[in-house]
Structure 1
């Protein structure tokens, strides 16, 4: 496993350089540049994670693994990265071709080995459970970007078929069962979903489990949504950006509260596409 981690660190470094190079070339395309910069940041973070993995393995006897990195696989991945970098330098890659090659690279054996290593590590120590969740967000962000690009349905489908290394937890809080059932159905492919029917039930759940996305109504019996939110951020101060409120009564006071606390919200009735879009933004956020 130590050799695999060493190899992955090298590939992550090369991939990060490639994404930085591409971002500098597409500096006039704000959306594409942002996508490339996010990928560069992700590869730098993956490099750091593999460094942590190397330190962890240094204190452990080397583990027997099922695979090794052969010369042919190593050369294939390096050649894929080099082809992209050379194409960028020589201005012979169109944006469409670059996207295709990025998807091809992300779907290569590099990804398979990386997923194998992360799954292996998170089963050995809880230290790597958060990296696993963040790496899954990296894949989701690529998928999210491809949805905005025309003629990329094949690439999108291939990305969607990648095996998950982490499945996010989602909490839906509403006293109306019809609404919780509907939202659960709309987001059932986005993660494991739990339901609570008031803020008190929801607060008990978040003490037992980490939820990447919390969709909450406001007007509920026993404990309303805003009280639930206040209790949650007092207990977990960094949880504010994981909330998405929904309300049928978006008064000026409530809107001011949401804006002041930078909390996302939707007014009922909600467009299905907007609900999915806002939920996806929170799920892929880091």
Structure 2
């Protein structure tokens, strides 16, 4: 069996974003963990280098060293997770090209640290860009997906929160970095808006909730029947649904929900992989909004924001 040390070394040697550029294949849980192992290895090494660069600034150097230790701890947990979840690889409705949007940040960060040209303000801007981004949304998804595993995986949630809290506390102590703090603490949630996400795969529901949570309050249902029950209790601003599901599929959910409440038919967004003729005919006949999997995190969030701003109640 490969040792944890060997796994960590391979992750570091592979680089933080090896094999991620330009790959539009659907991501699965195992792939998400592998990607994050590389990312955590790269981020930890980068923070350690930055700590040495700013050694004369004890406060900043200490923060960077703590962040590097955090990344190392996350890496250990993820390497351990990666050895246990081979049987859980299921396609998810995002693609690696969306996540790869962080690679330019990593490269620029590395270049400026190596050259010694980065300022404290520039450094913290890079840290914020890395830590409060789709990288960490994917991390949060993996954390949620691993909740059923015993032991160390349950520590990931607290570890990630402490990691972010270190950064926020540093920003609060620096009036000159107020703009970064405001960017961090501002979330584009639309007041009073609520979204119901519907999918029979719990791992997909988890990811969708994380992606959409910045736009509105999010509830989840595992099939059309459960979604219909939820819609009977609350007038949701938007329903984001899979098409093919057991018990009741998305098309039947749409028909029944539309009959239940006027205007609800304009608040559906379907996510589908390879629609057959029946599904395409349904989309055309009802003029419903849909997106093809895998889509990028950015495009899904943009579409949800657009529909929330324009539609319904």
Displacement after TM superposition at 1:68 (Å): 3.9
Once the two structures are superposed, what CA deviation does each residue of 1:90-131 show, in whole Å capped at 9, x if it has no partner?
A: 222211111111111112211111111111211x22432222
Q: CA deviation at 1:156?
A: 2.0
Q: Which residue of 2 aligns with 1:125?
A: 149
Shift, 1:152, TM fit? 2.2
> What's the counterpart of residue 309 of structure 2?
none
Relative to 1, partners in 2 of residues 1:47 and 1:32: Cα closer, same or farther, differing over 3 Å? same
Shift of 1:65: 5.0
Judge conservation of contact 1:16–1:39 (CA < 8 Å) in 2.
yes
Q: CA deviation at 1:22?
A: 0.3
Structure 1 partner of 2:49: 21
Moved more, 105-114 or 152-161: 152-161
Aligned to 2:252: none
Q: How does 1:213-228 map to 2 (within 5 A)?
A: none
Structure 2 distance, partners of 1:112, 1:131, is 13
User: Are the aligned partners of 1:9 and 1:51 in contact in 2 as well (CA < 8 Å)?
Assistant: yes
Q: Which residue number corresponds to residue 109 of structure 1? A: 134
8 Å Cα contact 2:30/2:85 also seen in 1: yes
How is 1:29-68 mapped onto 2 (pairs within 5 angstroms)?
Answer: 29-58=57-86, 61-64=87-90, 66-68=92-94
- Aligned residue pair count: 159
RMSD: 2.0
Q: For structure 2, list consecutive stretches of 5 or more residues without a partner in the other structure.
A: 1-28, 188-313
Shift of residue 24 of structure 1? Answer: 0.6
The TM-score, its normalising length taken from structure 1, stands at 0.52
Question: Per-residue deviation at 1:151?
Answer: 2.6
CA contact (8 A) 1:146 1:156 kept: yes
1:145 aligns with 2:154: no
User: In structure 1, which of residues 60, 67, 73 is the aligned counterpart of residue 99 of structure 2?
Assistant: 73
2:184 aligned residue: 159
* Larger displacement relative to structure 2 (128-137 or 14-23): 128-137
Greater relative contact order: 1 or 2 (C-alpha under 8 angstroms, separation 6 or more)?
2
**What is the alpha-carbon distance in structure 2 between the residues aligned to residue 65 and residue 157 of structure 1?**
36
